[in-house]
Amino acid sequence: MTSTFHNEVQLGEVHYQLSATTDSDESMVLDLLGSLGSGEVVADGRLRLPVEGGATIGKLLSRVLGAHTRLRSRPTRHANANQPWTEALDTALRTAWLTPSESDSPKLIRSLADDMERSPTAIRARLARVGCDPDVPGRELSAAAAVLLGGNSGAGQGKT
């Protein structure tokens, strides 16, 4: 006896159709079709497997596809990662920190990281190097703190 289960879902602009058909020889055939409203096919495939393994294979597919989706959704490396800091960038970072638009340190660091296309960790580390207290927007490091954190204190100091 042949039986078919059919389901459809719309994800963004793509309409997906999945059917699972079992037949008398105890095998299952999965057919997937993904198409745009224009009819253009963007996904298609067929998978044949034993019926008794269907649920286990479904879990396996879910884990593999979920892992792949998580990997693809991670942000790519920041565009300026590992690029040298210039004097102009140091000045811009220092100015933005000492004349903050945000009083919450983590939010300001994230905002600067987005603007400068660097990681929040890189921004936080660089703040100390340009003489800024990375915990308090608008505040310079004291001379003692600058020595401890490996940065400069005061606006007139050179780059490290």
User: What letter would DSSP give residue 132?
Assistant: B
Average pLDDT over residues 120-136: 93
What pLDDT, on the 0 to 100 scale, is given for residue 154? 55
What pLDDT, on the 0 to 100 scale, is given for residue 71? 72
Average pLDDT over residues 141-153: 76
What pLDDT, on the 0 to 100 scale, is given for residue 26? 81
As separate numbers, helices (DSSP H) first and strands (DSSP E) second, the chain gives: 5, 4
Look-up: residue for tokens 């990997």?
A: 71
For residue 70, name the pLDDT band (cuts at 50, 70, 90). Answer: confident
Domains contained in the chain, CATH given: 3-72 (3.10.450.700), 87-149 (no CATH)
Pinpoint the alpha helices (H) of 16-142: 54-73, 87-98, 105-116, 120-129
